[in-house]
């Protein structure tokens, strides 16, 4: 095996890719499958993005001629890193690439959201552009849907194009179970708001109503208050269960005073929630009484 130019690291890796991945600051990258790199179709157009393209590709695949002089080799090395990054952006939106990045996401290799109400949500890297040298990598939080700069300056210097602008969304579309539940609820559009009651979706409300009906029948037949149906664990049967889901959210304040427009909107939302909670409570009581009768 050809001895690799070790750069800043003295780690003796068996392949260029293994060395590249083990270098400090490259923790966001996953290992691209060799088959993927060797398939020239996957690299279409990259020859115009990178100088010394052929040499750089040879270096990545450990096929670079040993007789290349030292100065030239350094330039090739730099280009090889860019080429690897650009191939990486294409690879991580393939099925296999997404699976590899999912494992890194689960391990929180890209860090966690600094926002308190995101509860240590793991982040995903994202580029703001598909082209190199436009903007550095950013980290996307699927819970608050905001972007952050990486903590480490090494990661902060990575090019966003090495991850692409579609990666987080592609990953969450392929693995929808990884989409975190939103704790903070944004005001829904009016049409949706009309279908919702205090943050409880119409579906859940119908389920509860059906459960209450069942309970009503059950009580009528049993003729007493104790619930013998065996559905003790069914929370929807518990009439004393709180109807109102408590939203956890930040109220933006300046010198302790809520910001005017936002607080107005929030006050409106709170009023709507109270109204809808009252409606649900009335609805339940009516149901229960009709069941008792």
Q: Which of 270, 288, 264 is nearest to 214 (CA)?
A: 288
Rounded to the nearest 10 degrees, the angle between the axes of helix 202-222 and helix 260-292 is 30
Q: Given the rule CB under 5 A, which of 61-69, 87-95, 117-125, 278-286 is the region that contacts Zn ion?
A: 117-125
Q: Given the rule CB under 5 A, which of 42-50, 98-106, 138-146, 244-252 is the region that contacts Zn ion?
A: 138-146
Rounded to the nearest 10 degrees, the angle between the axes of helix 167-174 and helix 95-106 is 90
Count of C-beta atoms within a 10 Å radius of residue 85: 23
Q: Which of 104, 89, 127, 113 is nearest to 175 (CA)?
A: 104
Q: What is the DSSP letter of 247?
A: P
Nearer to Zn ion, 109 or 244 (CB): 109
Rounded to the nearest 10 degrees, the angle between the axes of helix 70-91 and helix 53-60 is 80
Q: Which of 59, 64, 139, 141 binds Zn ion (CB under 5 A)?
A: 141
Q: Which of 98, 101, 118, 139 binds Zn ion (CB under 5 A)?
A: 118
Q: What is the smallest separation between the CB atom of 121 and Zn ion, expressed in angstroms?
A: 5
Question: Does residue 143 belong to the site contacting Zn ion (CB under 5 A)?
Answer: yes
Question: Does residue 115 belong to the site contacting Zn ion (CB under 5 A)?
Answer: yes
Nearer to Zn ion, 142 or 160 (CB): 142
Nearer to Zn ion, 43 or 141 (CB): 141
Q: What is the smallest separation between the CB atom of 140 and Zn ion, expressed in angstroms?
A: 9
Nearer to Zn ion, 90 or 143 (CB): 143
Report d(CA 30, CA 171) in Å as an integer: 14
Q: Which of 32, 50, 113, 211 binds Zn ion (CB under 5 A)?
A: 113
Nearer to Zn ion, 17 or 124 (CB): 124
Question: Does residue 123 belong to the site contacting Zn ion (CB under 5 A)?
Answer: no
Q: What is the smallest separation between the CB atom of 108 and Zn ion, expressed in angstroms?
A: 13
Q: Given the rule CB under 5 A, which of 101-109, 141-149, 192-200, 207-215 is the region that contacts Zn ion?
A: 141-149
Question: Does residue 144 belong to the site contacting Zn ion (CB under 5 A)?
Answer: yes
How far is CA 142 from its chain centroid?
Answer: 3
* Number of shown-chain residues binding Zn ion (CB under 5 A): 6
Task: Give every CB contact of residue 113 below 8 A, 6+ residues apart in sequence.
Answer: 120, 121, 122, 123, 141, 143, 144, 146, 148
Q: What is the DSSP letter of 258?
A: E
Question: Does residue 37 belong to the site contacting Zn ion (CB under 5 A)?
Answer: no
- Report DSSP letters for 42-84, one per residue: GGTTGGGTSTTHHHHHHHHTT---TTS-HHHHHHHHHHHHHHH
Q: Given the rule CB under 5 A, which of 22-30, 93-101, 109-117, 236-244 is the region that contacts Zn ion?
A: 109-117
DSSP 3-state of 122: strand
Q: What is the smallest separation between the CB atom of 144 and Zn ion, expressed in angstroms?
A: 3
Report d(CA 245, CA 237) in Å as an integer: 17
Question: Does residue 50 belong to the site contacting Zn ion (CB under 5 A)?
Answer: no
Strands 138-140 and 124-126: antiparallel
Q: What is the smallest separation between the CB atom of 120 and Zn ion, expressed in angstroms?
A: 9
Question: Does residue 4 belong to the site contacting Zn ion (CB under 5 A)?
Answer: no
Contacts with Zn ion by CB under 5 A lie at 113, 115, 118, 141, 143-144
């Amino acid at each position: 095996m050809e001895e690799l130019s070790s750069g800043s690291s003295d780690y003796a890796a068996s392949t260029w890719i293994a060395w590249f991945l083990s270098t400090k600051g490259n923790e966001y990258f996953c290992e691209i499958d060799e088959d993927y790199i060797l398939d020239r179709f996957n690299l279409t157009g990259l020859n115009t993005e990178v100088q010394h393209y052929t040499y750089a590709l040879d270096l990545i695949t450990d096929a670079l001629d040993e007789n290349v002089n030292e100065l030239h080799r350094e330039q090739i090395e730099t280009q090889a890193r860019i080429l690897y990054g650009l191939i990486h952006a294409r690879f991580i939106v393939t099925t296999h690439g997404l699976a590899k990045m999912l494992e890194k996401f689960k391990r929180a290799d890209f860090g966690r959201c600094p926002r308190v109400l995101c509860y240590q949500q793991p982040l995903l890297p994202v580029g703001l552009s598909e082209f190199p040298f436009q903007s550095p990598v950013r980290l996307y939080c699927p819970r608050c849907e905001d972007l952050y700069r990486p903590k480490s300056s090494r990661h902060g210097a990575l090019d966003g194009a090495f991850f692409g602008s579609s990666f987080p969304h592609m990953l969450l579309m392929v693995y929808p179970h990884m989409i975190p539940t939103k704790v903070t609820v944004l005001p829904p559009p009016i049409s949706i708001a009309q279908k919702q009651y205090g943050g409880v979706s119409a579906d859940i409300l119908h389920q509860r109503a059906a459960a209450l009906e069942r309970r009503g029948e059950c009580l009528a037949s049993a003729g007493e208050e104790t619930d013998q149906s065996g559905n003790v664990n069914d929370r929807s049967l518990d009439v004393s269960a709180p109807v109102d889901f408590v939203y956890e959210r930040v109220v933006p304040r300046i010198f302790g005073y809520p910001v005017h427009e936002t607080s107005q909107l929030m006050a409106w939302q709170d009023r709507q929630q109270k109204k809808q909670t009252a409606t649900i409570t009335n609805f339940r009581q009516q149901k229960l009484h009709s069941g008792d009768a």
